[in-house]
Structure 1
């Protein structure tokens, strides 16, 4: 297959041909945009090379658009708002605007970021469905299998994000007409969505190898399916999948900081790839997290709660996870994704290169996560384990952090804490709290201490009001909104 970076240089033009009127946050036709060019998906795909450009267009959807406009889909670049900033890990600096709705648990159905992410995930699903709809032009059977696997991995990941964040969602497993509102606006039970996710990832595992880190791989599909099974309480299946990844040649980086700044290293299982300086392939979330560099004056700022956890339990990870904002010493910034790895100088906002055109890859799955999922699978919902395999996986993560005392037992709370300090600011915390059954107690207590407005209905986001309106009453809203 072609080199990922080379293909990405041309993908903006190719994606324009395939999906010409890409969805916007105010479009009603986001599942099949109306083309304004003579070349459409129906006429474009004629061979394997052209189908592969459709595959790469899916990753372009994951990248999102590096802009300041909510009319552009930002995809993974906005995910931290919906995950980390709704947990006890991060908040805004100024406590103002739409962004502050997440930390205060008063998210409105009209929130543009909520609508943007929802539309972005369906854009990704749409592009995957286009590829799956055109596999018939691929004459090489092996390539057809690989392309199907890759498209289904991406579709599964998008649906996994949607179902965990919004609950029951429309289930679109093929290209549909904009007039097919019955499918477009019918919310399907989460169990049915999970059935498709499991099926897609099972297909992906059977059709992929471990060639790539910024494209789907067998290990990425195994790790993602393990997390799905953990979410569903299927612990033995999750354990087997984790052990398959553990035996696939991945490893922990010796230095925790190198995980994030020696990109596509041995610890990375799957990441969304970015390239610096090019507006078409760069990202600005790294800049957003700094002081007055990005679109805002600081979001995803670190809470005192997670600072206390990192300071006491983070070991060597702490120094590479957050830092003090030199321009306002009561504030603290995430440092796992400093733009292009630059420190920003003493003021926290002077960078050698344009911080809003950062090239940091976004890590979706890495080996340390799999090791801790392995422990979770063996724990199997229990309160503690002394299983030797679990202790070994847990010990490896602790050892890398410089916490080398021998582990003789792992409790559920200790595992949740370890996941927090290892994976802080990587968009796992909220999902971990829900999966471990701790979200209600932890977030209620955090809310009470900080004067926030958490209630149990806040575990799901609202269905975007735009979708409710366009459905003419066909779509129902989540409780609490």
Structure 2
């Protein structure tokens, strides 16, 4: 990943030996207790957290692919994308027929707990840090832990809450589901600490602004603390971040001023590249077309996207009846002025953007709206119009409705794994996805608002870990 600090082979052996969060205690001769002795060693642990989010670029089902699989359980469960062939485990997401044995769901669940384990490992050893670096390392670890739990609680509901590295005597904690309220309590506390402790390192590591933006989204998701969310967002607005003039540059001019937090990748290196963007192409990645753009998403972009549309989706060059995501194209597109990022699309170097300034501006509108169906606030209109103006849409608005906000978020953040969460957070998932399902002969029901707890984890727990209703 970008700004990579090489981790020693010995430390990788110890740390990666706990790839599954259920592997309670490493048995190697060198343990975390005697490895971490100063800032240099602790920073390897910090970098390892981001490596866990980055995921492994491989075809092995035993590896944690982390966010490289995230589009399956977010975009492809929404009305934005689908598979080309409606076959295999991937098709379960588009048709709302997800099984508890789905390997992609298991991979993501275990990946996020591996991220949490690594964050807890840093926090357990934070006392070795110098006064100069302690706050930064602690803030990063708490941001990363909050990030992983925020994804888990929104996708699975009640989940095991592990706020420290556990030993064999605490194994039951790995399988004991904790209420969403308690999970959110830890997320909020971690992000508040991160806001207080963090400065700015690089876009590929946690910063104060990233923590502020994520905490604001946590408040919006809970439907509480709208004033605090607005204040957090206004602390970012007007600072060093700004919208790129050209929408294309957001994705193809990396480390730009719009990106607040991104997971970095390097091209042509198996250890630091990604292959999810090649999976979205036809017969280039391991699959033959996933994350294909739905008719509904194309219509939204055609009608509301403005200058964003051509950089959001394109006609499949191999199969003209289908349409592909343009953001993150690994092999480029000369007709759109998009360069290739690697010599091999399956070893792509495109960063994955988690938080960017346009999202902050649209969350600002949402915070001012404060759960109402519309707002005519001048501050909200200013933020809303900045995003639209960049897309060449200059028609002034006097009022912003919740539907306007949802539509704008859809076309601005299309295929960036926001749509599912937006529908749920703004209280329209049931209605929107029921209509989408009916129009496409899918089988959406209330059960599908949460993913199943992976059956493999339930089996490991010997029944202690319970399943979500309907699975």
| TM bucket, shorter chain | over 0.9
Partners of 2:8 and 2:374 lie apart in 1 by 50
Alpha-carbon offset, residue 211 of structure 1: 2.8
Q: Which residue does the alignment assign to 2:75?
A: 84
Partners of 1:189 and 1:210 lie apart in 2 by 33
Q: Which residue does the alignment assign to 1:188?
A: 178
Does the residue aligned with 1:225 lie in a helix, a strand or coil?
helix
Alpha-carbon offset, residue 344 of structure 1: 8.3
Partners of 1:299 and 1:178 lie apart in 2 by 40
2:24 counterpart of 1:32:
yes
Matches within 5 A, 1:41-120: 41-120=32-111
- Give CA-to-partner distance per residue, 1:235-292, whole Å, 9 cap, x none: 1111011101113320000000100000110000000000001100000001000011
Q: How many residues are treated as equivalent by the alignment?
A: 468
Of 299, 304, 327, which aligns to 1:336? 327
Alpha-carbon offset, residue 21 of structure 1: 1.3
Contact 1:19 1:33 in 2 (8 A): no
- Give CA-to-partner distance per residue, 1:381-409, whole Å, 9 cap, x none: 11111100000000000000000111211
Matches within 5 A, 1:243-282: 243-282=234-273
Contact 1:84 1:429 in 2 (8 A): yes
Question: Relative to 1, partners in 2 of residues 1:363 and 1:351: Cα closer, same or farther, differing over 3 Å?
Answer: closer
Question: Relative to 1, partners in 2 of residues 1:289 and 1:12: Cα closer, same or farther, differing over 3 Å?
Answer: farther
Q: Which residue does the alignment assign to 1:288?
A: 279
Of 8, 13, 19, which aligns to 1:23? 19
Partners of 2:429 and 2:11 lie apart in 1 by 39
Alpha-carbon offset, residue 68 of structure 1: 1.1
Does the residue aligned with 2:354 lie in a helix, a strand or coil?
strand
Alpha-carbon offset, residue 69 of structure 1: 1.5
What 5-or-longer segments of structure 1 have no aligned partner? Answer: none
TM-score (ref. length: structure 1): 0.94
Contact 2:281 2:290 in 1 (8 A): yes
2:392 counterpart of 1:392:
no
2:4 counterpart of 1:7:
yes
Alpha-carbon offset, residue 359 of structure 1: 0.4
Q: Which residue does the alignment assign to 1:470?
A: 460
Alpha-carbon offset, residue 34 of structure 1: 3.0
- Give CA-to-partner distance per residue, 1:397-424, whole Å, 9 cap, x none: 0000000111211011000000000000
Alpha-carbon offset, residue 15 of structure 1: 5.0
Partners of 1:373 and 1:272 lie apart in 2 by 21
Q: Which residue does the alignment assign to 1:382?
A: 372
Matches within 5 A, 1:134-283: 134-138=125-129, 140-234=130-224, 235-283=226-274
Alpha-carbon offset, residue 356 of structure 1: 0.4
- Give CA-to-partner distance per residue, 1:435-473, whole Å, 9 cap, x none: 110000000000000000100110100000011111111
Q: Which residue does the alignment assign to 2:396?
A: 406
Contact 2:24 2:171 in 1 (8 A): no
Question: Relative to 1, partners in 2 of residues 1:345 and 1:292: Cα closer, same or farther, differing over 3 Å?
Answer: farther
Question: Relative to 1, partners in 2 of residues 1:383 and 1:164: Cα closer, same or farther, differing over 3 Å?
Answer: same
TM-score (ref. length: structure 2): 0.96
Contact 1:17 1:39 in 2 (8 A): no
Question: Relative to 1, partners in 2 of residues 1:31 and 1:419: Cα closer, same or farther, differing over 3 Å?
Answer: farther
Partners of 2:265 and 2:341 lie apart in 1 by 18
Partners of 1:221 and 1:380 lie apart in 2 by 20
- Give CA-to-partner distance per residue, 1:24-51, whole Å, 9 cap, x none: 5xxxx5353534x422211210111110
Alpha-carbon offset, residue 351 of structure 1: 9.2
Partners of 1:364 and 1:125 lie apart in 2 by 17
Does the residue aligned with 2:61 lie in a helix, a strand or coil?
coil
Contact 1:230 1:377 in 2 (8 A): yes
Of 440, 457, 470, which aligns to 2:430? 440
Greater Cα offset, 13-22 or 453-462: 13-22
Does the residue aligned with 1:11 lie in a helix, a strand or coil?
coil
Does the residue aligned with 2:355 lie in a helix, a strand or coil?
strand
Contact 1:18 1:54 in 2 (8 A): no
